Structure 1
Amino acid sequence: MFMGEYAHTIDAKGRLIIPARFREGLGDRFVVTKGLDNCLFVYPQHEWAALEQKLKSLPFTRADARAFVRFFFSGASECELDKQGRILIPANLREYARLSKEVMVLGVSSRVEIWSRERWDEYNATAEENFEEIAEKIVDLL
């Protein structure tokens, strides 16, 4: 399981150090894709395979299902760690998530998320304001 939040920087070539706590769970090769809320989702191979199977079962006759699958898979890229524990984030994914120098790397249960620091701070401030209201709505779902 992935948890915690870590502040990191991306170098001029688009390389990002993956926190040591996440490296073992991700393995040497993993998938980075466009996530929701303009962040990137990072999945270990086994989680990606399970998600792929679920998405394959969506009815291709539904426009919303096709659009989501297209969005999710077209942005996907397999990445691997270099000897310094870094990955090269493709330019299209850096652009999508508006990643510049400062980023946040978050553990979110079965995946890792990569956010621009600015976007994370904005999102987090809004989420904190609504945390209790959100909790009231979803606790009954558990």
Structure 2
Amino acid sequence: MFMGEYLHTIDGKGRLIVPARFREALGERFIATKGLDHCLFVYPLDEWKVLEEKLRALPFTQPEARAFVRFFFSGATECELDKQGRILLPANLREYAQLDKDAVLVGVSSRVEIWSQALWANYSRQAEDAYASAAESLVNLGI
């Protein structure tokens, strides 16, 4: 399980250090793709396969499903850690997530999210304001 929040710097070649705790759970190879809210989603291969099966089951005749699957998979790339525990983030993913120098890696249960520090700060402020009402809604769902 992934949890926690870590601030790291992206070097001039587009490499990002992955926290040791995340490296253990991700394994040597994993998948990064365009996520929601302009962050990147990073999945261990076993989680990716489960998600892939679910997405493949969506009806391709529905435009929304087709668009989501197309966008999600077109941004996906297999990543591998180097000897220093870094990954190379492709330019298209860095551009999508507005990643320049400072990145925040966030553990979100079954995945890691990679955010630009500025976008994460903005998102966190908004999420903090909605946290109490979200908790009330979750109680109504039995959580």
TM-score by length of 2: 0.98
Deviation at 1:78, TM superposition (A): 0.3
Aligned-residue offset at 1:133: 1.0
Give the secondary structure class of the aligned counterpart of 1:99: coil
| Cα offset, 1:139, TM superposition | 2.6
Listed one character per residue, the Cα deviations across residues 17-67 of structure 1 (whole Å, up to 9, x for unaligned) are 000000011000000000000000000000000000000110111000000
Q: Which amino acid aligns with 2:88?
A: L
Letter of the 2:57 counterpart: S
Structure 2: unaligned runs, 5 residues or longer: none
Task: Give 1:40's aligned residue.
Answer: 40
The residue identity in structure 1 corresponding to 2:91 is A
Separation in 2, partners of 1:105, 1:87: 12
* Superimposed CA distance per residue, residues 47-106 of structure 1 (whole angstroms, 9 cap, x where no aligned partner): 000000000110111000000000100000000000000000000000000001111001
Could you tell me how far apart the structure 2 residues matched to 1:5 and 1:18 are?
A: 11
Letter in 1 for 2:59: P
Distance 1:126 1:139 in 2: 21
How far residue 124 of structure 1 moved from its aligned partner, in angstroms, is 0.1
Q: Name the CA distance, whole Å, in 2 between partners of 1:136 and 1:117.
A: 28
What is the count of residue pairs matched by the alignment? Answer: 142
**Which AA in structure 1 matches 2:93?**
L
**Cα separation, 2, equivalents of 1:72 and 1:139:** 31
Runs of 5+ unmatched residues, structure 1: none
Residue 61 of structure 1: aligned partner: 61
Give the alignment of 1:38-117 within 5 angstroms. Answer: 38-117=38-117
Aligned equivalents of 1:139, 1:81: Cα separation in 2: 39
**3-state DSSP of counterpart to 1:12:** coil
Post-superposition Cα deviations, 1:87-142, rounded to whole Å, max 9, x if no partner, equal 00000000000001111001100000000000000000011011111111223223
User: Aligned-residue CA RMSD in angstroms?
Assistant: 0.6
Report the Cα distance in structure 1 between the residues aligned to 2:89 and 2:12, rounded to whole angstroms. 11
What does residue 22 of structure 1 align with?
A: 22
Partner SS state of residue 37, structure 1:
coil
Task: Report the AA paired with residue 8 of structure 1.
Answer: H
Give structure 1 regions of 4+ aligned residues with deviation exceeding 3 angstroms.
none
Aligned sequence identity (%): 68
Tell me which amino acid in the other structure corresponds to 1:3. Answer: M
1:134 maps to: 134
